[in-house]
Amino acid sequence: MATDVNGLEVVISENAKGQAIVLEGSFATITVNAPDIDIQTQGTTTIANMNISAAATGCAVNLAAGTKVEKMVLDSGAAILGTGTIDNAEVNSNGVKFETAPTKQEDDPSVTEPPVVTPVTPTPGGGGTSGPKAALKDVNDAPDAIAMKVALEKSANIYALGLDTEYYNQIVNTDRKLAVAQDMLDNKAVDYTLNTVQNYFENLTHARFVIETQMNIADSYFGKTPTIDEIDTNVEFIQTIRDQLFALPTEYKVLTLSDNKISDLITSLDFAKLQYAKITIAQDKVDLLTNLFKQHYSSLGQLLTKFEALYSDYLKK
């Protein structure tokens, strides 16, 4: 904690990883090199220059109402919370989120994802702006999927944790959102940090969104008999799911969706495509797809299991 200071230059080193720091007073320079850190200002605080370095991944800065930052340089994605004033922001990284827009902002040409500026709106029981430490506690203490879903959907927590909700917000099926919450529980070997909660949430919601979108396409074939011209296009959703899951970073393919490793799902999708390609008679493909889409499917796993059974029947012909 640094309070009642005047003109101080502060460097927050990597050794402070995961800590909470409170600032109050007048600062010439604040340089943040520590990842997963929670910085809170209080009282009337002025900061001439604040630098969030590339090493400060998962950083969250909560600027109190009486805080003024003359210049902020962001070289890594960070969540900048609160209603304090930023006169000038220089954004050099993707993943930056502002609760209050800077007065002036300059984005480096290398930034492909413009900073998100969304005021936090308190939700019932959710409170207002929450610090990352409290938000992480909400997530890590969740005993079940329902509690985890509530913790992840609190608007204050979303911004305190710096969650990327692009895919989550596009998931329409409430059960699939609950499945995301269960995924977050199932994949939590140890308590989440800011870094891991951001990365797991982003990749798990991406996977769930891809599956929902393509399963909706599959569902549109319900009760229909495909024409010869449609027998290949009507299974393109399998390839699309496979390709988008395969595009996830390697380290996240070990995560599980409903107890199935993403890497195993990719293998199953590859196998289904290979099996389908071995069917050489067009009418046999028509018959298989007609039977496949005689029912609705609640999950990708259920559809693949049905496909395996129908292919097995085909081999017995």
pLDDT tier at 219 (50, 70, 90 boundaries)? very high
pLDDT tier at 187 (50, 70, 90 boundaries)? very high
pLDDT of residue 141: 94
More confident residue, 166 or 58: 166
| pLDDT per position as a tens digit, 97-124 | 888 899 999 999 999 888 877 654 444 4
Q: What is the DSSP letter of 40?
A: E
For every residue of 44-97, DSSP letters joined together read SEEEEEEEE-TT-TTEEEEE-TTEEEEEEEESS-EEEEES-EEEEEEE-SS--E
pLDDT (mean) for 25-48: 89
pLDDT (mean) for 128-135: 68
pLDDT tier at 223 (50, 70, 90 boundaries)? very high
For the chain, what are the domain ranges? 2-117, 195-315
Asked whether residue 191 carries a pLDDT value surpassing 90, the answer given is: yes
pLDDT of residue 143: 92
SS3 120: coil
Asked whether residue 4 carries a pLDDT value surpassing 60, the answer given is: no
Mean pLDDT value across the chain: 88
Please name the residue that has the structure tokens 């951001």: 198
Q: How far is CA 52 from CA 72, 73, 144, 231, 284, in A?
A: 8, 6, 35, 53, 60
CB 197 within 8 A of CB 60: no
Residue type, 28: A
- How far apart (Å, rounded) are the C-alpha atoms in residues 160 and 158? 6
Helices (H), the chain: 132-140, 145-153, 155-161, 174-186, 194-219, 236-246, 262-277, 282-292, 300-315
Give percent above pLDDT 90 in the chain: 60
- How far apart (Å, rounded) are the C-alpha atoms in residues 214 and 218? 6
pLDDT tier at 134 (50, 70, 90 boundaries)? confident
pLDDT (mean) for 72-95: 91
pLDDT tier at 78 (50, 70, 90 boundaries)? confident
pLDDT of residue 267: 95
More confident residue, 47 or 64: 47
pLDDT (mean) for 116-144: 69
| pLDDT per position as a tens digit, 61-73 | 888 888 999 999 9
Q: Which residues pair with 267 in a beta bridge?
A: none
| pLDDT per position as a tens digit, 239-273 | 999 999 999 999 999 999 988 999 999 999 999 99
Asked whether residue 129 carries a pLDDT value surpassing 60, the answer given is: no
- How far apart (Å, rounded) are the C-alpha atoms in residues 80 and 88? 13
Asked whether residue 36 carries a pLDDT value surpassing 50, the answer given is: yes
pLDDT of residue 157: 79
